[in-house]
Each structure stands twice: as C-alpha cells, then as structure tokens.
Chain A
Amino acid sequence: MKRQLHAITVGALCVLGTYCPAGLVSAAENENDRVTALEQKLDRSLKLIEQLTARVKELEAQRAGTAASAQNVPPAPPAESSPQIQQRLDSVEQQLTQITDSNAARGGGGAGVPLHGFADIGIGNHTANEPGLQGANVGALDMYLNPQLGEHTRALFELTFEVDQQGQVAPDLERAQIGYQFSDAATVWIGRFHTPFGYYNTAFHHGQQIATSLRRPRFILFEDQGGVMPNHTVGAWFTGAEPLTDGKATYDLFVGNGQAISDGEIDPRSGGVDHGGAIYGGNLGYVFGETLNGLKMGVSAFRSKITNDQPYVNFTRVDNVGVYFAYDTDRFEHIGEYYRFSDSGLTPVGPTHKSSAGFLQLAWRLPIATPYARYERAALNQSDTYFAAQTEGMSYYRDAVGLRFDIDLKSALKFELGHTKNTDRLVQEWNDVLMDYAIRF
C-alpha cells in the first residue's frame, strides 16, 4: 500500500512539475505535441488524484472499523480533501493556457499561421477623427499575420477593416511586407510598410490597443483619416541596429513609389506609379543603454515627388526633415517629434513653401491608470499645393489630456478631453469628450 501511494504521488507530482525523477519526463518533439501531452497528463493526474482520495478515505474508514465498503465511498473532489493539490492543479491549468497562448502567438510547428488582431469601439460628442460625426462609432478591425518562414525570411501582413464617414466598411491592406534578415544589423523588406520617419509612425500602427493615447496626433493620422504625412510607402526598406559602447545605433533607408493626392487624400500608390516619381529617405537613431535607459533620439528625412488629380497635374517635390525623441520606461512614456517641410512646385515651377508640424506627449504609467497629456501644432502653408490639395491639409493646434485604464493584458479603456482649433482655410474650433474601448487578440 505504501509503495502504491508513493507511486501515485510521484506520478502526480511529476505531472505537476514539482518533482520528477529523471527518466519519467517524456519530452515531446514539438510544442504542440507537448501541449497535447500535457493536457492528457493533466486529465490522468486528475483521475489519479480522485483515485488517491477515494483510496485514502477507504483506508481511513477501514481503520476506524466502519463497515462502509470502498464502493460506497463517493470520491470527494480534490478541492475538499487537498487544497494544496487543487492549488497546484489550478496552477498547471493556468500554465497550460499560457503555453497554448504563447505557442499560438509564436506560430511554430505545423498548426498553421496564427491570426492576431486589434479592434476598438469609440463613443463621444465627436468621433475621434471626424469632428462632424458624433455618438458611437466602430473604430477598426485590424488583423495581422507574421508567419515563421525560416531562419532569415520574415513576413508581416496587416489587413484592416474600417468604417468610413458614410458608414461603409472599407478593407485596406495596410502592410504587406516580406523581408530577409541578414543579421541583427541588417534586414531588407520589400512591400508596403510604414514610412520610417520619426518615431511614432513605426512604433504605433493601426491597432489602437497598444498605443497609450486614444488617437494618433492629427497630422500623423493615416492617409484615409486625414493625415498629411505619407505614412505608407510601397517599395524597399533597409533597416537594422548596431550595438555601441552604451546603447545602439539604429538606421533606416527606404525608397518607394512617389505618392499621389487623390480625392483629397494621400495615396501610397500600392499598385505602382504612372509618373515615375519616387520617395526616398532615411532615419538615424540612437537608443541609450544603461546611462539613460529607455531613451531614443534621432533624425529623419525624406524627399518625395508627389502628384495630384487636378485636371492639369501638379508635381510637387516634398522635402521633410524631422527630429524626435522617445523616453519609454516602466514609469513613463514621453514622445516628441518636430518636422519641417520645404516643398517646391515642379510642374508648374513654383517657389519653395515652408511648413512645420510637431507634437509633445507625456504619459505616466501609474499602477491603476496611465494619464497622459499632448500638445500638437501644425502650421501648414496653404500656398503649398501639397497641403492645399489635401482635404485636411489645414493648420491647427490641439491640446488634450487623457486617461488609459488597462482592464487586463488585452484590453484598455481610454478617455480623452481635447480642444482643437483649425487656424486657417476654415477656421473653427471644438472640444472633444471621447471614450474608446480597445482590445487585442
């Protein structure tokens, strides 16, 4: 009896991961098999524990001289007879869930490509990016895939479904990148990617849940939301990082199709260009090490030959230089960016127009919530055909304060109070009271 009990206990402990003699551990070759095996072991261990509990009851009954037979003793649930075992089982169940989630996220093995995504719903006296609308609005359903293709090949696809001003659902292949990673210092991507200017545009994408704030700075909004920067480029992107003494240097070089302005919005020309224009540029950054851990600073620049859809097509050369910093730690997330435009008319030939835009966002990660504040300003020259052709290409300033609550690891509730004023073209101002519930899966 003693030997049997010992064997049962050792078996249970082995499954629980607490104690296991060498030779009893059977490791599966791949992770999916291992998860399945663990689940089966968990089932077996539950049965063993129930049997063990019943057997102990039986022994106790016999020793006490009772006439009750073992068959008449109902197996008590483990939680009643052994809280420690139940606690361990709960822990194992939790670990199995984590393993399943984690391995699904990793996407290894032959179980197919895992689908990840983001979604959000907003409510407010205006919608976040359309001051002419109010009430509840569907933000976006954003799905992305990053399959593991081998040691060096990488891929990332992001498909977004958004609701436009008319309430129509519009699918958009926001990113479609295939890349080859030579080393940590060099990866080349081709396809449609986020143009690597500044920090925000490559750090935050369409999934609103991972962004601290409720909405992007207005001038960096995506093209179809009214942003005035060429957020997406279709072409090639060479990127990497090189460790230095205390930190590392990061770089980006890119070239792609020159954008066009169509129906008042910037069009990245994902299907190719018919005018031969191109965008090219780069970004050079420095990520500090121990000394100022969490701080990144850098400069970026791009030049693009952009057309519009006027009867007499205008070609504008857009030159942009920017500086930025981001301080991202356990306690803080501070981001600042400033850009200068020097745009020249090529056809017809025109003067150079200067414009600028920038923002500063400060956020504090507190235990119960993350309050943030942001100021943004864009002074856009209305004589510049690049801005004049864009529906939302007017100057403005906006100040906002907000609060982000992380409900759990995968969902966040955000509130924002904002004041926006358009300072030219159509001068107007309004206050926002916004709420957004954002999730990822």
Chain B
Amino acid sequence: MGDLAANLSLGFATALTLQNLGLCFLGCLVGTLIGVLPGVGPIATIAMLLPLTFKVDPTGALIMLAGIYYGAQYGGSTTAILVNIPGEATSVVTVLDGHEMAKQGRAGVALGIAAIGSFIAGTAATLVIAALGAPLTRLALLFGPAEYFSLMVLGLAFAVVLARGSVLKAVAMIVLGLLLSTVGTDLETGEERLTFGLADLSDGIDFAVLAMGVFGFAEVLRNLESPETRDVVRGKLGRLLPSLDDFKRCLWPIARGTGLGAALGILPGNGAVLGPFAAYTLEKRIAREPQRFGRGAIEGVAGPESANNAGAQTAFIPLLTLGIPPNAVMALMVGAMTIHGVIPGPQVMTKNPGLFWGMIASMWIGNLVLLIINLPLIGLWVRLLKVPYRLMFPAILLFCCIGIYSINNNPADVLLTAFFGFSGYLLYKFGFEPAPLLLGFVLGRLLEEKLRQALVLSRGSFAAFVERPLSAALLAVALVTLVVAVLPAVRKSREEAFQE
C-alpha cells in the first residue's frame, strides 16, 4: 500500500506541473470537439490529432493523448444523447435512454449524469490500474514467447465473439488483418514481403493510415449514403445537475457499471466494447420497472456510461503491463509512444516511472477536467451539432488529410488512406465489420514475432504451446470461447444482445 501511495504521489507530481496540466486540458478539449462530430469516433479522432503532440516531450504527449482519448469518448456520448446517432460503438446503448431523456427536456441531466458517472468510474479505474500495474508487470516477466502468443490468440478469439453478425465473417476479418500486418520488411531476414514493389510499403502499413481509411473515410461514405436523419434536440437542455432523487437512482447503476466495465476492459480483444451492453442489460434485468428502459430511464444512461469509461481506462492495463494493445485505440497509443521513443511493455514502469505514473494520474485529472469543461460547454456542442453535414464532412475530410500527412510528412500516406477508405467501404458493402480486422492487424506483427521465437525455442514443435501450463490454459480459454461462439443457443442470445 505504501508503494501505491508513493507511486501515485510521484504520478501526481508529474501530472500536476503547469505544462502537463495544460496539455491534459487541451487534449480533453480538442478531443471532445472532434469527438462530438457525428461519425467521428475515438479512433479517427486520435489518428487525426496525433500530430498535435509531436512537439511535446513524451510524458506530456502521452498525457495529452490520453486526454484526447477521454475527450473523444465523452464527445461520442454527447452526440449519442443530443442527436440520435451514436458517435461510436460504445455509446450505442446510451442513445436508447439518453436521447429519450433529451426529447423529454432532460438532455442536461442526461449529460450531467453521464459526466458524473464517467468521473466516478474513471476514479475507480485509475485506482484499479495503479493497484494492478505493479503486480501484473511482475507477472509479465513470467511470460515467454509461447505465453504471449497464446494470450494474443485469446484476444483474437474474444474479438470473434464480440463482433456482430456472422462468426465466419469475423474470423475472415481477423485473418485478413493478420495478413495485412505481414506486409513490409521481414524483421528477421530483411526481405520485403507483399509490398508490390512499392517503396512506401516497405516499412509496412501504418496503423493510423489503415484505421483512418477504414474508420474515418469509410464512415463519411456511409453517412453520405444514408439520408440525413440527425435529430438534434431542440428547445431547452434543462438543468444540468441531476436532482437528489436522480442521484439515488443512479448510485448503484454507476457502481455496477464501473465494476463490469473495469473487469471487461482488462480483457484482451476489445472487451471494453462489451461493457456498456452488459451494463444496460444488467440494469434492465434487475430493474423494478423494466418497462421504463427505452423511455428515458436515467439508470440506462448512468450504468452504460460508467461502464464505458471504466473499460476505456482499464484497457490501458494490457498495454502498459504486457505491451499488448487490446483494441484499436490502444494500438494508436502504441504508435504514438513509439514515435516518442517509448516502447510499451513491462519495462516502461521500471525505466520510466515518471511517465508511467504521470500518465495514470493524468487519467484521473483528465476525468475531472472533462467534468468541469463539459458541463458549461454543452451549449457550444449543441450549436456545433446543428452544423449541417454538407459542411461538416468536407471539414472532417480536410482534418483527416492534414492529420495523416503530418504523421510522417508523406503524401503517399494520404493516397494509401484513400485506398483503405475504399476497401473499408467495400467491406461494409459486403457485410464485414472492420473492428476485428483492425485488431488482427494490431496484434499481427507481435503475434508472428512471438510465434517464430517460440518455435525456434521448441525446435519447431507446437507442443510447447500446450506443455507450458499458462500457455495451455490461455489456449484452452480461447478454444472454449470460440466453441461457445459457434454454439447455436449462444449465437441466438448473442444476436438478441446486440439487437437490444
């Protein structure tokens, strides 16, 4: 416990310098600003804003990026409540009751409880990270290549279960993502692989380029196709602070959402996405009057929003302790860290404690900043949301182009992003989901590296993966997960869960 206190105080000392505080504030502000735009989720937002952090030192840059991330998350919830469009996958359930509340003139309260729930969840999640960081880092030292490989396989298995629609299509997307990750120079032999002779591909495909194409551009294309159905709340926002009665109703949903979200967020394979769904389903199941849900029940906003934020934060745990990004946002964080010369993994905490604990402390500060800046700024977001899409999408497009160009100062990246935008559009037309593709891509390189290392160590025998107990256990869980996903009964309930 003494350790924890010492570490946290080091973290706060780092995060509370004037510069870092300012960066955290700025990150939250611009993150929310871009994240509020409909159809721009956290992934596109971070990819777009990555160049903003280039001039800052690594610690400051990561603090700012984390701020951008929380801002984008919260911006997505704002859009979900004020407009009937979820900004991103994790705020899909917030739309149900949040927008209903807004229609009843309680938009302010919905946004308020979302911010307060997120803050409480963020505080708890920060403590979880601080408490689990050190022991998990020690655990990571026990991980050999075989264990790393099996853990990533488990992550991919989770991603299959979490994807919507056909299991086969989700598997296909993961395999395709893995295949894309092999493009570029081979790490061991230096041979160029699948580059079509293009020099711009010899370093591999940049994750930001792929993500921006598949999530940024393709999203604009999809939005343009469906006719404008934005239903921005008119009239009064109402009071912002929830009443005492609202608080009483939300206390337990927030606590349950936080627990669920935090636990799911740690899972590799983008478990954080599941948090809000799970929290909503749970609240509806145990509610005394379940018929209120979908008609503006405040618990239906408080629970999922808390789960959302808790998961968004505990998703940092696999990244910071094992160096494995559990989802696409964390993969962008890896990219950002690498640009600043920090290689994520267990060594960060020992070699660079100021950065590690500073970032954790800034997570809590970021949540506080969001609470402070968003409540007064909601009016501004409402006005921004009323900008017609015919003006919004060219602006989004321009930001995307400048962002992608600035990451490597390479015009070819913009062309490549356009190519992936088209590919993402095709995938959407074919009924594929892009999320598993990105996760496959994210884990691909590390997966291949560890697989090859493990096979060298075992002299070409796959038995190593089952003989080592930890690795065998991880693979067994992965197998069970996959089998369960294909079982007809579970598939049915999974479809129902996504329907809700």
Q: Is B truly associated with A?
A: no
